Structure 1
């Protein structure tokens, strides 16, 4: 593990181009190009930024949200596709690790999906949120444990979770136990108000302290005009404001730059990996401070499939099924 390096990271607070996959994609590509001029090596974008977070599901009852749900299907991202190819190219061109949230369409289902592109343009990971939250369950399917991975990337050992997955301590521990150096967190933003901003603050700082890693967190932001596009109801508009907290946190739980809680912007900070050792010297949750003789995590990392193929094996006793190799 290399703990003697410095990585420049950016967390982007950005507005989607509502109802447009192509429009949001172009805006994100422009942000990557801008970050490159500032020497950024890792860039993190918000949850399901492309095409946009399904805010409609938070303010509409299921019986009324069919039209908006169908529109999201039409604008969602297929993996692979020209959209993902564009980000492979951008990551390779700027030699930058890119962490991006999308609404993924897989045939007749949508998923809250996180993509990690390495600095050589390789799509390293496509992981789906394991449990959509509350209203989101009307929109997205569930992911599986195959995405709970920490990856060796050009900027170090990288893991990611989306929004309230951070309230699942075993999901976080699964990444911690793989010695995550940088944790990429994504939240929707422009939701629920100041209480959500405050909750994000507690959540990301706690994970940084507990994991002894950096946390790079990005949230989206909706302009007043966009809130009006989503709903003309002024009462409902109130819950589509605030809730933004784009920030970069050190392994000691401190902010490395000013957080962004309003408007669009880019939080940029240098991650000094020596701080990981400094923190873990005192408290290593998955090392000298753990007690595996008392407490262990058992997890299923297999990708969920609908069909498992078998073949016959003939033995002297009986004919039996064994998994096909």
Structure 2
């Protein structure tokens, strides 16, 4: 009877996504902009995957981590952006209960994996700059693959057990999600149960995750900067630091957004600002990442030139 009672209380079979109501007058403009940014994200990150796969000189640990990050960004935006675009062209966008839970689950798994990969990239830069002689022996291809798999496995383990708590909650009242995707805060606020424990666990895991990974990244960069400042030539210092600036930029943007959105007690209290930050985090940042990592990167530019040159030779029949 207890099971039947629980089944009767969980009457919500689908959710209504409100989208971005305070920008309703500009929905068509934002749809066009959002679609363009989504296509650019897929193409930009797809370009990184292709260039790293076909160019032997880019098959180093740094670029293997970067191609993993590019693949992750494609998956991350695809989890959220298509539904966001739908909320911009339809008056009322619905998402089935299971689809909503799956979307939230993958959104957090991919987001957590990104944090771990960026931390692994900071460690890779630390080894490359501070331990250049030991670097080839420590950061082998095998170690790089193991670290990458560990980032995915860790994020899956962390998010799977947290998601189980949310999946088991009864939803019997309102089914209107005040967001453009199934983020944890707006979904939790609809539950017909006490969510204090889940909120506390979520806040604790967010704080621990952010503090641990951010500390590891900051410590890595303290050692990196100290080592760079000891390099006698200005050209040497510039070259060493140029390999880190892209990574630092991406880390700053990502942690800024995460801390603003999730490291706070009441994650379901959404403001206009937090929704704008969510748009930047899910649409703009994944689009900018390929440009941040490639525009000033000499190795990527040389790899592109080499690829174009080889293509021209093939056309001429050599």
TM-score between the two structures when normalised by the length of structure 2: 0.25
> Which structure is higher in helix share?
2
> Which structure is higher in strand share?
1
